[in-house]
Every structure is written in C-alpha cells, then in structure tokens.
Amino acid sequence: MDFASVELSPEDAEFRDELRAFLADIVTDEVRRRDRETGENFDEGVHLALGAKGYLASDWHDESDGGFSALRRRIWDLEIGRAHTPWFHWGTTAVVAKMMRDFGPSELTDEVLPGVLSGETRLCLGYTEPEGGSDVATCKTRAVRDGDGWIINGSKMFTSNAHNARYVFLLTNTDPDAPKHKNLTMFLVPLDTPGVDIQPIRTIDGDRTNIVFYSDVRVDDRYRIGAVNGGWGVLRGALDEEHGTAEKEDDGLQRVAVMSEHLTLMAEAIDAIAELVTRPGADGRRLVDDTSVAYRLGRSVARTEAALSTPGMFGRVANAQTMRDVAPDLMDLLGSASALPIDTTGAADDGGAEYIFRLASPVGIYGGTLEVFRNMIAQHALRLGRPAYSPPKS
Ligand SMILES: Cc1cc2nc3c(=O)[nH]c(=O)nc-3n(C[C@H](O)[C@H](O)[C@H](O)COP(=O)(O)OP(=O)(O)OC[C@H]3O[C@@H](n4cnc5c(N)ncnc54)[C@H](O)[C@@H]3O)c2cc1C
C-alpha cells in the first residue's frame, strides 16, 4: 500500500472545493434530520441535484469513458461521506446498471440508463429471502415461462429502497429440479407491476428496509438479464462488487474497504467524546485524568485508525467488528446518559456513540455477514479450504 500523501493539482483542488460547496448547499440540516427520522438513507432532492449536475454520470462511467479520474473519484467518495449525504442506494443502482450494461439486452439498458444517470430511476436488489440470505443460491422465488413472458411468485426480505426505486434486480429460480447454481435467472422487474406488494421494515438502527411479496407478477422476457438458468454468472459480478472483492487498481486511491464511511461517523463520535472528557467538570476534574479513561479512549482511536487502513475483505470485517467493540467502550466512558439518542435533552454526546452502537449490528450483516466474510478470508486469502458443514462422521 502506498501511504504517500497526494498533492492536488489546482484543477483537482478546484473540483474538491466546488463539490464541497455544492454538497453543503444541498445536504442541509433539514435533509439530515429527515433522513434520521425516516431511516431511508435516501433523499430524492439530493439525488436529483447530483444527477442534474452530472456527478452521477461521472461516478458511473469509467475514466476512459468520460468518468472521474481515480483521484477525483477518491475526492468524491470522501466528500460525500463527510457531508453525511443520505445516499447509500446510489451504490446498488450503479451496480445493477453495470450488470445490465454487461449482461442485459441493449434496448433495455438504453431505456433505463439515462434515468439512472439523471437520478430519476433508482434500482434495488432483490436477492435475500425470508428463509435465508447468506446462501442466496437457495432462492425459492419462482419464475415460470408464460408465452413471451414469465410469471413470478415468491417473497424477498430486506429489499432496501424498493419504495424509492423503479425496478428491482430480482433473483429467481427457473428450474427447481436443476442442480444448485444452474437454476437461477435474473430479471429487472418494474416495481409498479400488478402483484408487487412492498411492506416496510425498520431495523435496530432506525433504517427503513422492506419485505416485498410477488404474487403472479407478469414480466415480459425483455426484462431478463442474462441467460435463462445463467443467473449465477450475472449475480457473481454484482456480489463481488458489493463485497468489495472485485479487482482494484493498485494506485492507492481506491476506497480502502466497503462500508468505511460508517467508520468516519465513529471517528467523529470519538472526536466529540475526546473533547468532552478533556473538559473540566464542576469540581475542576477532567474525566481523561483517570488513566483508565485515557487508555480506553486511546485504544478506541488506535483501533479505528487501524480499521480505516485495512483494505478489502479484511477491512470489511475490521470496520464492523471495530464498531461493535468500540461503541460500547465509548458509551461506558460517558456513563448512562450516553444511552440517550441524538436530539434528546441530557444526551451525553448528543447520541453519537449510542447511534454507532445500534448501527454496528446491521453493518456486520448486510452485504454479507461477518461470519461469511471470515470464511471467505479463511478460504481465499489463507487457503484453508472450503468449510465443512456436514456433521462429523461417527
Ligand atoms: C439493513 C439491511 C439491509 C439489507 N438490504 C438488502 C437488500 O437491499 N437486498 C437484499 O437482497 N438483501 C439485503 N439485506 C440482506 C442481507 O444481505 C442478509 O441479511 C445477509 O446476507 C444475511 O442473510 P440472513 O439475514 O438471511 O441471515 P442467514 O443467512 O440466515 O444467517 C443467519 C446466521 O447464520 C450465519 N451463517 C450463515 N451462513 C453461514 C456460513 N456459511 N458460515 C458461517 N456462518 C453462517 C450468519 O452469519 C448469521 O449469523 C439487507 C440486510 C439488512 C440487515
């Protein structure tokens, strides 16, 4: 890894300043407050403004295709995170649009892509089912041929942002008798099709996601992405992208690991707590003069820095595990008032650590659980072989 600092050219510095000012203008306190209340991680006004300014198109296209240079992409990622932009669903939209470009019929891509880049069309992921998400290939949602179309029946758990999206990238089973991985087909299903029912779910950190039911949903064959029973090949690319295991450039400018933006929130909470514990109380004493407070605060900073610098799938695990370990330590330093959430009178640090504590659980689940990532590290990085799940032979 290259730890050299990057000198910005005047043009790149101007790009950063312009982007920062633009985000300050559109990501207002009101936008952030609404996002906290709804848990949507999405704001249509912000999304459309980023599309209209051309930022979505620049992020989506490769540099060779007129998109951001590697350096500008890095600036873009950092500034979006620092502004607390409610924006996580751009990632899913962008990934699905890339799968369409690579595997879908070109007429469908031509129809959908302009709306994606302008911000008007959002795309969501329909993989996980109520009976399990880690092993997505066990998919039970059925798609059955019906003339020049398909009839879909089943249900999908945790289809985040479905209520703000126009299409779902849906994993279906098109041949229950075929071997696993050889019976899957992907579709881009318009979410306003009769028979689609989107029901809300709130998670422990206040996020809004959905369960979506599909009852005799008819889609034309032109919405199929990739070959019939060839869905696993399409899905693999999308999963690698989501897991952060896709091939990266070696220029040191890539996002270090997926979900590192959550650690930025934790770093901000730590900064706020460092300020609180160094402030003298009514008796003139400072909490940080207690060596155990100083030690635990220092350990939190060190672990956060280490996680922020850990790349790829190792970083994915380090980020979520560090949040899970450090957040309760931070709350402990401040006492029971740290359990009060943001905007509550008397909250020790305005709910900063409390929010990280609640966020840490889902961060270790979505996009693949920590256990599954640890298995991937064991199998692919440490070459320990495939885990054996069968009971030991007696
Ligand atoms: C907030 C949120 C948003 C999400 N958004 C989406 C979305 O937009 N679209 C979508 O399709 N999905 C989404 N998901 C689903 C997410 O990808 C799954 O929750 C995740 O893959 C785990 O699946 P599961 O919850 O069904 O748990 P399960 O797969 O049932 O796992 C249960 C437990 O068993 C463990 N486990 C399972 N398999 C293994 C294994 N092989 N080795 C060791 N341990 C194992 C898991 O770690 C976990 O602790 C979202 C989830 C959350 C919480």
pLDDT per position as a tens digit, 342-370: 989 999 999 999 999 999 999 999 989 99
Percent of the chain past pLDDT 90, that is, above it, reads 84
Taking alpha carbons only, the member of 110, 121, 131 closest to residue 173 is: 131
Phi, then psi, of 26 in degrees rounded to 5:
-95, -30
Choosing from 99, 321, 363, 366 the residue with most ligand 1 atoms within 8 A of its CB, the one to mutate for a pocket test is 366
Supply φ then ψ for residue 7, to 5 degrees: -85, 120
Rounded distance from Cα 351 to ligand 1 centre (Å): 27
pLDDT tops 80 at residue 145: yes
State the average pLDDT for the chain. Answer: 93
Report whether pLDDT(247) > 90: no
- Band of residue 2 on the pLDDT scale cut at 50, 70, 90: low
Is 159 a pocket residue for ligand 1 (Cβ < 6 Å)?
yes
Report the C-alpha gap between 115 and 276 in whole angstroms: 46
Question: What is the model's pLDDT at position 387?
Answer: 80
What is the pLDDT, as a whole number, of residue 5?
78
At residue 72, the 3 state secondary structure works out as: helix
Each residue of 8-43: pLDDT tens digit? Answer: 999 999 999 999 999 999 999 999 999 999 999 999
Nearest atom in ligand 1 to the alpha carbon of residue 126 is: 11
* Least confident piece of the model among 33-37, 258-262, 275-279: 258-262
Ligand 1 center–CA 242 separation, angstroms = 13
The answer to whether the CB of 41 is under 6 A from ligand 1 is no
Ligand 1 binding pocket includes 158 (Cβ within 6 Å): yes
**Is residue 178's pLDDT more than 60?**
yes
Q: How confident is the model at residue 371 (pLDDT cuts 50, 70, 90)?
A: very high
Which residue would you say has higher pLDDT here, 32 or 256? Answer: 32
Q: Establish whether residue 379 lines the binding site of ligand 1, counting it when its CB lies within 6 angstroms of any ligand atom.
A: no
Confidence check: pLDDT of 252 > 80:
no
Q: Is the pLDDT of residue 278 over 80?
A: yes
Whether 164 is in the pocket of ligand 1, judged by its Cβ within 6 Å, is: no
Point out the least confidently predicted range of 43-52, 180-189, 213-222, 239-248: 239-248
pLDDT per residue as tens digits for the range 59-87: 999 999 999 999 999 999 999 999 999 99
Of the pLDDT bands very low, low, confident and very high (cuts 50, 70, 90), residue 382 is: very high
| Mutation to probe ligand 1, out of 122, 125, 127, 134 (largest number of atoms < 8 A from CB) | 134
Tokens 């998919």 map to which residue? 139
- Both tokens of 384, joined, read 């320990």
Assess whether pLDDT exceeds 70 at residue 276. yes
Query: What's the mean pLDDT in 144-172?
Result: 97
Whole-Å CA distances, 212 to 160, 190, 357, 391:
10, 13, 28, 35
Provide, rounded to the nearest whole percent, the portion of the chain with pLDDT above 70.
Answer: 97
Q: Are 117 and 59 in contact (CB under 8 A)?
A: no
Alpha-carbon span 357 to 351, nearest angstrom: 10
pLDDT for 251? 73
Question: Would the CB of 127 count as within 6 Å of ligand 1?
Answer: yes
Q: Which pLDDT does position 389 carry in this prediction? A: 78
Rounded to an integer, what distance in angstroms lies between the CA atom of residue 334 and that of residue 329? 9
Both tokens of residue 29? 């306190």
pLDDT bracket for residue 3 (50, 70, 90): low
Q: Is the pLDDT of residue 242 over 80?
A: no
- Supply the pLDDT for residue 390: 83
